[in-house]
């Protein structure tokens, strides 16, 4: 979301402050096009995330649910290792932990 906002602000700035340069210089147009593509890609990603969250979740069997919960535990263990050895940024690890928390809550709240 922040990436999209920054790209849109940059595009607006270019469009209002460099109109003549955009008309006369291909390098200015190339930079503008780069921001335009970044916006399109960000919007597509957001649309995908939104549509994925709207889809109804399939009913899980007890065995499938058990496996999915075990995978969540395994992922938490891996994230803990990453945190200890500094493989990834702590903020990114915490974000993935929150995603696992949500995934686990969804699984535990569903029947089956």
Instruction: Please provide the DSSP assignment of the chain as one string.
Output: -HHHHHHHHHHHHHHHH-HHHHHH-HHHHHHHHHHHHHHHHHHHHHHHHHHHHHSPPPPPPHHHHHHHHHHHHHHHHHHHHHHHHT-S-HHHHHHHHHHHHHHHHHHHHS--
Full pLDDT tens readout for the chain, 112 residues: 667 887 899 989 999 999 999 999 999 999 999 999 989 998 888 888 777 655 555 666 888 888 889 999 999 999 999 999 998 899 999 999 999 999 899 888 875 4
Where in the chain are the domains? 2-53, 59-109
């Amino acid at each position: 979301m922040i990436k999209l906002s920054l790209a849109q602000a940059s595009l607006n700035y270019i469009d209002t402050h460099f109109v003549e340069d955009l008309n006369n210089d291909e390098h200015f147009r190339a930079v503008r096009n780069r921001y335009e593509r970044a916006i399109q890609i960000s919007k597509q990603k957001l649309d995908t995330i939104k549509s994925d969250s709207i889809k109804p979740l399939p009913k899980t069997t007890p065995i499938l649910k058990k496996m999915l919960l075990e995978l969540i535990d395994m992922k938490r263990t891996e994230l803990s290792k990453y945190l200890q050895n500094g493989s990834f940024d702590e903020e990114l690890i915490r974000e993935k932990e929150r995603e696992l928390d949500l995934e686990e809550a969804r699984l535990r709240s569903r029947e089956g």
